[in-house]
Structure 1
Amino acid sequence: MKWTERDIPDQRGRVAVVTGANTGLGFETARALAGHGASVVLAVRDIEKGKKAAARMSGDVSVQELDLTSLESVRAAADALRATHPRIDLLVNNAGVMYTPKQATHDGFELQFGTNHLGHFAFTGLVLDLLLPVAGSRVVTVSSVAHRIRAAIHFDDLQWERSYGRVAAYGQSKLANLMFTYELQRRLAAHGTTIAVAAHPGLSDTELTRNSPAVIRVLSPLIAPLASQKPDMGALPTLRAATDDAVLGGQYYGPDGLGESRGHPRVVTSSPESYDVTVQRRLWSVSEELTGVKFPV
């Protein structure tokens, strides 16, 4: 049986925070959650774009400024959420950048690693205590099939200071998303019912691909009709990971089609490298050092 948006259970009474929710996959995720009754917070860098996105959704939707490229902004957003929301049922770490030219965050981290992994690592750690007491709460982090492409955690040059390859750097950041999820789940297992789950959208037609290498941009119009899908379909693995009562901590959801490029969501398997517990733990320790954020688990 194919899981669709219609299978989302009643979300009334749940508070969901979705990063990068003003466009693409994040918008579709937030829209569906709000449409099923959740109180949704759009955690976005651009407040005005967030307000316009919220106006296009039905239900209880609010906007919170969050710039994942700035640890100062991450801390401010966490403090603001703490002041307005005594509990969070669902955190969806969706925002991201892809294949960007070499740039640094406000704190000097390589932009893709700093945004996709370190920003979400810090944000999760700073709000996690709002989820821990809540039965059935979840942290869902969005990875990518690109975690398999030239991907490794380069501890000797995490910020790509010696050389930079934007495809490999993106792969590292998405591999880090998975390793973070698996290590977080291991830590959560002894603390109540909060779980950590990962998802990926397959190949989805969103603004995220605007920085793709030239060869990918040239081929995309030819490949897209066969391989990619619209954002509302691409969001389904995240939505299933976020809402399906059968989901277990540490699972990874993606499309069921050929090569996991498109289709309906199911449990999938990540790369062998992603399950390396030693690397997961080392990445966690390094991430704590770089962000200055310690988790309550």
Structure 2
Amino acid sequence: MSQKWTESHVPDQSGRVAIVTGSNTGLGYETARVLADRGAHVVIAVRDTAKGERAAADIRATAPAADLTVVALDLGSLESVRTAADQLRTDYPRIDLLINNAGVMYPPKQTTADGFELQFGTNHLGHFALTGLLLENLLPVENSRVVTVASIAHRNQAKIDFDDLQWERRKYNRVAAYGQSKLANLMFSYELNRRLAGKNTLSVAAHPGVSNTELMRHTPGNTLPGFNTLAGLVTNSPLVGALATLRAATAADVRGGQYYGPAFPVAAMGLVGHPQLVTSSAQSHDTAIARRLWTVSEELTGVTFPL
């Protein structure tokens, strides 16, 4: 396989069911578009279903045969996660791909409907709960996969602070809070794969490098003149950013517990380019912290996994 892995490498997905969270825009949209174009039935799982329907219409404009369904899912509400999961379990006894893509980055301090810090609650806990609630429909399916979208930010001021997961005691640092949520994504992906040993289902992680999507709307400086033009020059397009997710979800050589992302050495980190097998921080592989995070996540969400 060529080192420059592209959309053309995505194999036929006919007969597969793929659920993609946050797929009305950006990376999720491109992921959904490519999977639908390759024949998968794609569930666009989004908070705003009107935006989801517009995304589905846009995909059908370029892929008229695309098989798409829009489902309401607000990852910042455990009630919404449970309602969506109930519908998805009923509608799709067989799930081939669950792509945990949705996320928020660098917002001002806010909490979810359940009182969790917004980034940790949405990016990690919402996806943790959704995965646990859907896993029974993935487990019987050969080569089914859970792909969790992480970030290079898992290295940036990041640690799992069990004494203050929700930033109630410290001065809020939105960059560090995002880093914690993305580190949690990676540790969840790795720990899930360990628990899936011997099963049909793989857990794989991916990151898009730095991609010019709506996720950057809270980035400091984004209102300055020329910000978007400059960002477009030094970041991945949404499609190139989504390739890491698509490779993790569809490539035949993928193994559970792997991590895919751009590896172009900008500032000695994988920021831009096409996806390769990459490494994550030593901290992300700490199994003791991962097990503790798992237990705490079960307690906070009330969701246990059928493993």
Q: TM-score, normalised by structure 2?
A: 0.94
Distance 1:272 1:90 in 2: 28
Cα 1:222–1:10, aligned 2, differ >3 Å: closer, same or farther?
closer
Provide structure 1 residue ranges, at least 5 long, that are not aligned to the other structure: none
Cα drift, residue 256 of structure 1: 2.5
**Equivalent residue, structure 2, for 1:260:** 270
Distance 1:220 1:93 in 2: 28
Distance 1:64 1:222 in 2: 34
Count, aligned residues: 296
**Equivalent residue, structure 2, for 1:193:** 200
**Which of 202, 207, 218 is equivalent to 1:211?**
218
SS at match of 2:166: coil
Counterparts of 1:52-91 in structure 2 under 5 Å?
Answer: 52-57=54-59, 58=63, 59-91=66-98
**Equivalent residue, structure 2, for 1:282:** 292
Cα 1:16–1:219, aligned 2, differ >3 Å: closer, same or farther?
same
Cα drift, residue 223 of structure 1: 5.0
The one-letter code sitting in structure 1 at the alignment partner of 2:70 is V
**Which of 171, 176, 179 is equivalent to 2:184?**
176
Cα drift, residue 45 of structure 1: 0.2
Counterparts of 1:114-193 in structure 2 under 5 Å?
Answer: 114-163=121-170, 164-190=172-198, 192-193=199-200
Cα drift, residue 225 of structure 1: 4.6
Cα drift, residue 216 of structure 1: 9.4
Distance 2:225 2:75 in 1: 30
- Is 2:49 aligned against 1:47? yes
Q: Is the 8 A contact 2:212 2:232 kept in 1?
A: no
Cα drift, residue 289 of structure 1: 0.2
Provide structure 2 residue ranges, at least 5 long, that are not aligned to the other structure: none
Q: Is the 8 A contact 2:221 2:227 kept in 1?
A: no
Distance 1:290 1:176 in 2: 14
The one-letter code sitting in structure 2 at the alignment partner of 1:36 is R
Q: Is the 8 A contact 2:75 2:126 kept in 1?
A: yes
Q: TM-score, normalised by structure 1?
A: 0.97
| Percent identity of equivalent pairs | 66
Note the alpha carbon deviations across 1:217-270, whole angstroms, 9 max, x for none: 679557525420110110000000000000000000001212211111110000
Cα 1:43–1:174, aligned 2, differ >3 Å: closer, same or farther?
same
**Equivalent residue, structure 1, for 2:33:** 31
Distance 2:212 2:108 in 1: 20
Regions of 4+ moved over 3 Å: 214-223
The one-letter code sitting in structure 2 at the alignment partner of 1:294 is T
SS at match of 2:165: coil
The one-letter code sitting in structure 1 at the alignment partner of 2:179 is G
The one-letter code sitting in structure 1 at the alignment partner of 2:189 is T
Cα 1:135–1:158, aligned 2, differ >3 Å: closer, same or farther?
same
**Equivalent residue, structure 2, for 1:273:** 283
SS at match of 2:70: strand
Distance 1:117 1:205 in 2: 22
Deviation larger for 26-35 or 54-63: 54-63
SS at match of 1:237: helix
Q: Is the 8 A contact 2:153 2:179 kept in 1?
A: yes
Note the alpha carbon deviations across 1:71-128, whole angstroms, 9 max, x for none: 0000000000112111100000000000010100000000000000000000000000
Cα drift, residue 212 of structure 1: 1.4
